[in-house]
């Protein structure tokens, strides 16, 4: 995604001529792009402009002028990403309202705008000169997050969010910032195999450095159990961050102590210091006050941007903000709050939840909370086995939780009471290789749920279930997906999960993905850029979806 300037005028005018009967001229683009109240952004594919959006920002109002996507790149979520980015920018810059006009017959566009919470404000008769069609005038209050209002609990949560301070509200020029990130990245022999969490922190890091701050960065990595362990060193993360930033990142040998204090004191504006793994000290997980005070003293400001550990009552989540001179949330933490909060409390409807993963026991709270929010629910993964077995059908030697059969039946009854449709798989991909490592298990065929072989192990949903679930998702305007549909680590049993990813990618809806390795599935499918938002939190996402207040958010609101 990029923003355009006057030099792009000819390119944009040519692009508009492909779509509109009365396109802007090159001169109009050049004059507008040279002003401060006009913005135009776009996305390329293969070096070629594939989609663009133009808008004006005047007197506190955003007006969307045009959105266009090349036919071969439609239904890939490009318009949704552009609009989401511009609306986020509008909120960040204090815009109060957003407006646009759309043809009354443009159903895909109306679905897209409804997904963001636009509501019809009026109608302009015979507005479009080519066919005298009416235009609908849509409006969105920028403080809202889309969809219908979600009741008292949602209002309270949004109100609580407003009491939190955010990085872009703080004066950070020349300040030293203690920045908590989540660099708990996977390593293979000291090599980072997935740098998603490091990349996710870059907006906060770059913003702080561009504003003339210095950064003292801290994180955990792995389960170090309160003592140094070289295999959990953050040195590879510091090196990767340095590559991404294009500037040096100094690496400390510890996170507390005299030598660290000297390195912190020597930092100059624009410099970055990475502290060693917080969990090399048991004070982190125990929320030891002395540990928290020592760390908090490193900065003029503490910024928490580690959503992945926001559900942990650790020192860096609750102790640092308590003892810091000032504290706020970084951009990643803010985005997680906004997108998950929007999905749960202010969803555009129909709202569909897709729940997968291994165990019902780990998601009981999530399922029950979602039933008070959603219109439909899809249940897959090994947790579906427990529901199928609870209904009296055999599941062979598949993973089940017999002690939760009654809970599963209660959830189905609760869904009926709340008029929420629950969809379970109707067929399964089964292996007869139970007892072997997953990588060695082979498919024995697809079986309907009534006829699972006694020696069979369910490892994925079947093709009929995949088609059914795609049909359930088709009308959705908001989707939250948590947990894969099967044992996707084995390619023979990945199709069910990949089918859900493809179905979501084709929707003109707000799609929020996170938890239970769901993000891994989406990246494996090559569809990450076609989701509205991918959460970086596993357990944190789960607890948020369960309706719990996360300790990190609570601490930031109280400081």
pLDDT-based confidence at residue 152 (cuts at 50, 70, 90): very low
Is the pLDDT at 416 greater than 80? The verdict is yes
Name the catalytic one among 516, 524, 537, 538: 516
Name the catalytic one among 197, 279, 335, 373: 197
Scan for tokens 């002003």, then name that residue: 35
pLDDT-based confidence at residue 147 (cuts at 50, 70, 90): very low
Q: What is the pLDDT of residue 418?
A: 92
**66 close to 53: Cβ distance less than 8 angstroms:** yes
| Strand, helix or coil for residue 259 | helix
pLDDT-based confidence at residue 143 (cuts at 50, 70, 90): low
For each of the domains in the chain, give its residue range(s) and CATH number, in order of start. Answer: 2-141 (3.40.630.30), 163-336+552-558 (3.40.50.1260), 349-508 (3.40.50.1260)
Residue range 42-76, pLDDT digits in tens: 988 777 899 999 998 877 889 999 999 998 888 77
| Strand, helix or coil for residue 458 | strand
157 is catalytic: no
Residue range 355-380, pLDDT digits in tens: 998 888 888 888 999 999 999 999 99
Name the catalytic one among 11, 74, 139, 359: 359
Phi, psi of 193 (to 5 degrees): -95, -15
| Strand, helix or coil for residue 265 | helix
Scan for tokens 């679930």, then name that residue: 469
CA distance 170 to 153: 29
Is the pLDDT at 495 greater than 70? The verdict is yes
More confident of the two residues 158 and 318: 318
Residue range 436-448, pLDDT digits in tens: 999 999 999 999 9
**178 close to 218: Cβ distance less than 8 angstroms:** yes
Is the pLDDT at 151 greater than 70? The verdict is no
Is the pLDDT at 150 greater than 50? The verdict is no
CA distance 328 to 347: 26
Structure tokens at 175: 């300040």
More confident of the two residues 556 and 160: 556
Q: What is the pLDDT of residue 142?
A: 79
Q: What is the pLDDT of residue 158?
A: 36
**382 close to 401: Cβ distance less than 8 angstroms:** no
More confident of the two residues 142 and 207: 207
CA distance 544 to 53: 33
Q: Of all residues in the chain, what percent carry a pLDDT higher than 90?
A: 60
Name the catalytic one among 222, 270, 539, 547: 539
| Strand, helix or coil for residue 216 | strand
Residue range 183-213, pLDDT digits in tens: 999 999 889 998 988 998 999 999 999 999 9
268 is catalytic: no
Q: What is the pLDDT of residue 104?
A: 85
Q: What is the pLDDT of residue 163?
A: 67
Q: What is the pLDDT of residue 106?
A: 84
Nearest CA-CA partner of 543 in 534, 531, 535 = 535
More confident of the two residues 218 and 39: 218
Beta-strand ranges (E) seen in 154-245 are: 176-180, 187-188, 191-192, 214-218
483 is catalytic: no
CA distance 205 to 470: 39
CA distance 513 to 481: 5
Nearest CA-CA partner of 111 in 314, 349, 342, 295 = 349
435 is catalytic: no
Beta bridge partners of 285: none
Q: Of all residues in the chain, what percent carry a pLDDT higher than 70?
A: 96
pLDDT-based confidence at residue 161 (cuts at 50, 70, 90): very low
Q: What is the pLDDT of residue 144?
A: 52
More confident of the two residues 254 and 36: 254
Q: What is the pLDDT of residue 290?
A: 97
CA distance 275 to 234: 8
How many Cβ atoms from other residues are within 10 Å of residue 237's Cβ? 26
pLDDT mean across residues, the chain: 89
CA distance 73 to 75: 7
Q: What is the pLDDT of residue 155?
A: 33
């Amino acid at each position: 995604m990029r923003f355009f300037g006057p030099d792009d005028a000819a390119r944009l005018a040519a692009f508009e001529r492909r779509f509109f009967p009365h396109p802007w001229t090159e001169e109009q683009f050049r004059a507008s792009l040279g002003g401060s109240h006009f913005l135009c952004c776009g996305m390329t594919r293969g070096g070629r402009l594939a989609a663009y959006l133009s808008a004006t920002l005047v007197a506190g109002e955003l007006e969307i002028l045009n959105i266009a996507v090349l036919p071969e790149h439609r239904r890939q979520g490009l318009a949704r990403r552009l609009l989401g980015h511009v609306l986020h920018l509008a909120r960040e810059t204090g815009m109060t309202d957003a407006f646009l006009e759309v043809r009354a017959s443009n159903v895909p566009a109306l679905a897209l705008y409804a997904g963001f919470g636009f509501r019809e404000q009026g109608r302009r008769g015979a507005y479009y000169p080519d066919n005298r069609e009416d235009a609908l005038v849509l409006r969105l209050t920028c403080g809202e997050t889309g969809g219908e209002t979600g009741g008292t609990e949602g209002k309270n949560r949004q109100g609580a969010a407003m009491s939190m301070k955010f990085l872009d509200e703080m004066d950070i020029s020349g300040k030293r910032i203690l920045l908590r990130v989540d660099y708990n990245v996977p390593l293979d022999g000291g090599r980072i195999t997935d740098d998603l969490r490091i990349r996710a922190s870059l907006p906060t890091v770059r913003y702080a450095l561009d504003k003339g701050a210095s950064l003292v960065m801290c994180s955990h990595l792995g389960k170090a159990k309160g003592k140094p362990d070289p295999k959990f060193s953050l040195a590879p993360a510091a090196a990767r961050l340095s590559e991404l930033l294009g500037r040096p990142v100094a690496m400390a040998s510890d996170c507390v102590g005299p030598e660290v204090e000297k390195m912190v004191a020597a930092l100059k504006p624009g410099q970055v210091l990475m502290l060693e793994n917080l969990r090399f000290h048991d004070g982190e997980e125990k929320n030891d006050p002395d540990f928290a005070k020592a760390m908090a003293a490193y900065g003029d400001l503490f910024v928490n941007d580690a959503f992945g550990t926001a559900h942990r009552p650790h020192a860096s989540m609750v102790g640092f903000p308590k003892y810091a001179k000032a504290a706020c949330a970084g951009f990643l933490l803010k985005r997680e709050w906004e997108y998950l909060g929007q999905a749960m409390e202010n969803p555009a409807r129909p709202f569909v939840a897709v729940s997968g993963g291994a165990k019902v026991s780990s998601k009981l709270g999530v399922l029950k909370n979602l039933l008070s929010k959603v219109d439909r629910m899809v249940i897959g993964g090994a947790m579906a086995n427990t529901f199928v077995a609870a209904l009296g059908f055999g599941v062979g030697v598949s993973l089940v939780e017999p002690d939760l059969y009654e809970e599963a039946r209660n959830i189905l009854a609760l869904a009926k009471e709340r008029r929420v449709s629950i969809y379970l798989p109707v067929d399964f991909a089964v292996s007869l290789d139970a007892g072997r490592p997953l990588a060695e298990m082979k498919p024995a065929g697809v079986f309907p749920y009534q006829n699972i072989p006694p020696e069979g192990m369910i490892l994925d949903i079947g093709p009929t279930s995949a088609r059914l679930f795609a049909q359930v998702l088709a009308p959705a305007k908001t989707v939250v997906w948590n947990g894969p549909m099967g044992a996707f680590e084995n390619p023979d049993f990945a199709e069910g999960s990949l089918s859900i990813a493809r179905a979501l990618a084709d929707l003109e809806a707000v799609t929020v993905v996170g938890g239970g390795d769901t993000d891994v599935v989406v990246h494996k499918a090559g569809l990450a850029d076609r989701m509205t938002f991918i959460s970086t939190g596993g357990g944190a996402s789960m607890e948020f979806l369960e309706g719990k207040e996360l300790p990190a958010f609570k601490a930031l609101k109280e400081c």
